[in-house]
Structure 1
Amino acid sequence: MPLRALPPQVLIPLIVACALFMEQVDATVIATSLPAIAADLKEDPVALKLALTSYLLSLAVFIPASGWAADRYGARTVFRSAIVIFTIGSILCGLSTSLTDFVLYRIVQGLGGAMMVPVGRLVILRSVPKSELVSSLAWLTIPALLGPVFGPPLGGFITTYFDWRLIFFINVPIGVLGVYLATRFIENVREEDVPPLDLKGLVLSGIGLSGLVFGFAVLGQKLVPTAAALAIAGAGVTAMAFYVRHARRTPHAVLDLGLLRHATFRAGVVGGSFFRVGIGAIPFLLPLMLQLSFGLTPFASGLLTFAASAGALAMKFTAAPLLRRLGYRNVLIVNAVVSTGFIAVNGLFTPHTPHLAIIAILLSGGFLRSLQFTALNALSYAQVETQEMSRATSFASVAQQVSLSCGVALAGFVLETLRSDRGEMVVTQADFTVAFIVVSLVSLASLGFFVTLPKDAGSELTGRNKPDLDDPRNEVPPEP
């Protein structure tokens, strides 16, 4: 069947998924290869968390401008440019010779990723009716989820039997394909009346978010003195305070805090951020534990960790029916508890745990987490108006990347603190157990945002009746 014969709600998500596939392969390959990269660069494996947080922070800093750029220059133009930048960053990562180089080139990748995925999602949100949004997002994530499925074993195989640098060149042919498909099938959607870019807000939010997370990430490491790390984090807090003040006075703030007046957006973004902290820590903790504590090769580690992504892929075929039958609120509440339990269980693995048991647990956990993500991603936009979509996608994407980077930073901080208290540089199995429990408790805190949702939250997406506006839980709160 020719591609043009596919309906828009299928074709456009599949094209955007090429970019997401490239990004997800890159992320999962790096997570599996972190110990090998650290050894080659002669760095502490825990310090390689900077390679993960720098990329995620780069996303968070530049994503706020993605919606404005798409409106101003056209979604197709920005989308194609982003793929090119991401691909160039990948090549540079494969050529890096030090941790500093590696982190710098990961930031370049983040610049491309910041424009690539959010703009692609914006194209979908503007092209697909809300009644078909859940199905379209599922089509988007099916090919993209193949990246995490193939990434760990592929990265482990290349790292074990060849050279870790080769894993970054995988993105080149995928990037070329993405540019071709975007050029041929995606319209250059743009807005006629685009407000000026909130440059002051972009600078304040960028300094604030990067200062907060980076300061926390380097806390306790030899790279930066403790006083300097605290000063960086303090500067981040100060900048974010100034940004909140700025946003309340600016009609077109780069991160529109007024979107939090929507109950579903608030729950999806704020509650989802807490939930993603634990999820963000898994790709960092699990490969390190399997290789440093269990003594597995990167390939063997990848053959185990890919199970979580396989479970996520299987869930995509059942997400829409489950959400229609059970409702968003019920799914989010129950699944938050069960999913965070599966995060904590990872810390109970030992070198003697049967591999089949590990695969079964990772498979089930990935299935449940993916259900939560699908519900959160769709629910966030249930009450958002069409003219707010650009700002909403930017806000939600920033929150997602910041929470994932916080998960990596928190997990690394726990490991560093525990081994420092013992006066050692070696990370033990008990350290990983504590780290998994800590991040799972943060994820469990998301429950507080889901229980306050109205019973019919997200009904616009399931074809049910519209939300009950008389329900006090639907009242619009004052702008932060």
Structure 2
Amino acid sequence: MGSIFCGLAQSLTQLTIARVVQGVGGSMLLPIGRLAVLRRVPGDQYISALAFVSIAGQVGPIFGPTLGGLLVQAASWHWIFMINVPIGLAGLFAVRRYLPEDALADVAPFDVLGCGLLSLCMVAFSLALDLPAGEGRMAWSAALFALSGLTVLLYVVHARRRENPLFQLRLFREPNFSVGLVGNLVCRVGSSAVPFLLPLLLQLQLGYTPLQSGLMMLPAAIAGTISKPWIAPLVRRFGYDTFLLANTVLVGAAIMSFAVIGHGWPLSWQIAQLAVFGAANSMQFAAMNSVTLKGLSTRDAGSGNSLFSMVQMLAIGLGVTIGGGLVGVFGGADNALPGRAFTLTFLCVGAITLLSALVFRRLDADRLNGASGRAAAG
């Protein structure tokens, strides 16, 4: 319904409201695949199953610009949203046909206050980073950061008092869940900026059409899909901790390499850079997802998965916000230096991704890999 409303929108206000409806539906769908894996797949097959489930989520944002560019060029922007309708109907049929019912005996009442506090936290934090430059910006940003911190503290107090809060605080007693959550946030902020920044670079700097810039994202999508079968053998061979450290460095370096793209840069090198990024990023997401969730008990799987999805959405939004903000800062008030702006922005978002390696160093390797993982690694 959200996509239909978006396609029928006649003004920016209508489109914004419709996008909110679409976002609510999408955010509820995101955790379902992972939760089904958590509840039904044995632990030794978890990362392979999760890698397969994540293909759609990984490939979609990269194939999207290609399809979007084609639809805009061949028809109109409305079809960017209307194309979701048959896809949604096909998904609805598949769920009804193939997904077994999983009724829960006891469902706790929805935590309205907890949801409100965390929603306010995310909105305040995002706005603090997204305020336009101008007088009083720092004061407003500081106030919004303080508000986001205050709402987190209020949620902790609320969760301690409520029997069934939105997210149980005991989730954070699982050390790898806490580390994985923070590592996911930092890493995804950097990598989520790439699907936003690259089409801008290709169109504004190199003169590509929307369709051409979308097609340039295909090497990343194809490489990401091909790399999925490599994840489980590599993790078994080296362990989660070593794999994530090395692959995080590879993802960050791949993002920073986009800084050299400009006039005269060979097309073959662009394709190679995108393929490396797509493969490394695809494996990174699957490994990070598994690290974060695999240690949770069955009782906490649903709650932990939902919190993880919320952090994912926050990271994607922050990636676009930070990426766009950096281009504006480095380009100057009149955007007089667009080439330099993109160069510095890719270096910065790549560095943000590299910072997540410091977070993943805190993983409890023995608890995470287990005896069998260590034996395979040796």
Residue 453 of structure 1, CA deviation: 2.2
Q: Is the 8 A contact 1:155 1:299 kept in 2?
A: yes
Describe the shift of the 1:101–1:431 C-alpha distance in structure 2 as closer, same or farther (beyond 3 A). farther
Residue 230 of structure 1, CA deviation: 5.8
1:312 correspondence with 2:214: no
CA distance in 1, matches of 2:277, 2:22: 29
Residue 389 of structure 1, CA deviation: 0.4
Question: Which residue is equivalent to 1:431?
Answer: 341
CA distance in 2, matches of 1:355, 1:396: 37
**Ranges in structure 1 where 5+ consecutive residues have no aligned partner:** 1-87, 467-480
Counterpart pick for 1:335 among 237, 241, 247: 247
Residue 452 of structure 1, CA deviation: 2.2
Q: Is the 8 A contact 2:193 2:316 kept in 1?
A: yes
In the superposition, the TM-score normalised over structure 1's length comes to 0.73
1:273 correspondence with 2:185: yes
Q: Is the 8 A contact 2:220 2:278 kept in 1?
A: yes
**After the TM superposition, which residues 432-471 of structure 1 pair with which residues of structure 2 at under 5 Å, given as runs?**
432-459=342-369, 463-464=372-373
Counterpart pick for 1:259 among 171, 183, 186: 171
Describe the shift of the 1:221–1:135 C-alpha distance in structure 2 as closer, same or farther (beyond 3 A). farther
Residue 361 of structure 1, CA deviation: 0.3
CA distance in 1, matches of 2:312, 2:272: 27
**After the TM superposition, which residues 364-383 of structure 1 pair with which residues of structure 2 at under 5 Å, given as runs?**
364-383=276-295
CA distance in 2, matches of 1:225, 1:95: 36
Counterpart of 1:220 in 2: which secondary structure?
coil
Deviations 1:45-76 (A, max 9, x none): xxxxxxxxxxxxxxxxxxxxxxxxxxxxxxxx
Q: Is the 8 A contact 1:148 1:306 kept in 2?
A: no
Deviations 1:196-219 (A, max 9, x none): 322211110011111211332233
Residue 131 of structure 1, CA deviation: 1.8
Deviates more, 1:170-179 or 1:437-446: 437-446
Q: Which amino acid aligns with 1:439?
A: V
Q: Which amino acid aligns with 2:373?
A: R
Describe the shift of the 1:441–1:149 C-alpha distance in structure 2 as closer, same or farther (beyond 3 A). closer
CA distance in 2, matches of 1:95, 1:230: 38
CA distance in 1, matches of 2:17, 2:337: 27
Describe the shift of the 1:159–1:226 C-alpha distance in structure 2 as closer, same or farther (beyond 3 A). farther
Counterpart of 1:445 in 2: which secondary structure?
helix
CA distance in 2, matches of 1:119, 1:423: 44
Counterpart pick for 2:110 among 194, 197, 210: 197
Deviations 1:233-286 (A, max 9, x none): 543333223223323443432133331221221222111111111011111111
Deviations 1:276-332 (A, max 9, x none): 110111111111111112211011111112222222111102111111111101101
Residue 427 of structure 1, CA deviation: 6.2
CA distance in 2, matches of 1:161, 1:185: 35
Counterpart of 1:446 in 2: which secondary structure?
helix
Question: Which residue is equivalent to 1:182?
Answer: 95
**After the TM superposition, which residues 293-308 of structure 1 pair with which residues of structure 2 at under 5 Å, given as runs?**
293-308=205-220
Counterpart of 2:164 in 1: which secondary structure?
coil
Q: Which amino acid aligns with 1:101?
A: Q
Question: Which residue is equivalent to 1:128?
Answer: 41
Deviations 1:117-136 (A, max 9, x none): 21332122112222221121
Residue 220 of structure 1, CA deviation: 2.8
Q: Is the 8 A contact 2:239 2:374 kept in 1?
A: no
Deviations 1:144-175 (A, max 9, x none): 54534542322222222332221211111111
1:291 correspondence with 2:203: yes
Describe the shift of the 1:353–1:221 C-alpha distance in structure 2 as closer, same or farther (beyond 3 A). farther
CA distance in 2, matches of 1:97, 1:215: 30
Describe the shift of the 1:391–1:368 C-alpha distance in structure 2 as closer, same or farther (beyond 3 A). same
Q: What do you get for the CA RMSD once the two structures are aligned?
A: 2.5
Residue 225 of structure 1, CA deviation: 7.8
Question: Which residue is equivalent to 1:171?
Answer: 84
Residue 231 of structure 1, CA deviation: 4.8
Q: Is the 8 A contact 2:128 2:142 kept in 1?
A: yes
Describe the shift of the 1:99–1:430 C-alpha distance in structure 2 as closer, same or farther (beyond 3 A). farther
Describe the shift of the 1:276–1:333 C-alpha distance in structure 2 as closer, same or farther (beyond 3 A). same
State the identity as a percent: 34
**After the TM superposition, which residues 85-234 of structure 1 pair with which residues of structure 2 at under 5 Å, given as runs?**
88-148=1-61, 150-220=63-133, 231-234=143-146
Counterpart pick for 1:387 among 273, 289, 299: 299
CA distance in 1, matches of 2:12, 2:204: 20
Q: Is the 8 A contact 1:274 1:446 kept in 2?
A: yes
Q: Which amino acid aligns with 1:182?
A: V
Q: Is the 8 A contact 1:311 1:364 kept in 2?
A: yes
Question: Which residue is equivalent to 1:82?
Answer: none
**After the TM superposition, which residues 396-415 of structure 1 pair with which residues of structure 2 at under 5 Å, given as runs?**
396-415=308-327
Residue 96 of structure 1, CA deviation: 2.7
Structure 1 segments, 4+ long, off by >4 Å, are: 143-146, 224-234
Q: How many pairs does the alignment contain?
A: 375
In the superposition, the TM-score normalised over structure 2's length comes to 0.91
Q: Which amino acid aligns with 1:350?
A: G
CA distance in 2, matches of 1:367, 1:386: 31
Residue 221 of structure 1, CA deviation: 8.3
Q: Which amino acid aligns with 2:325?
A: F
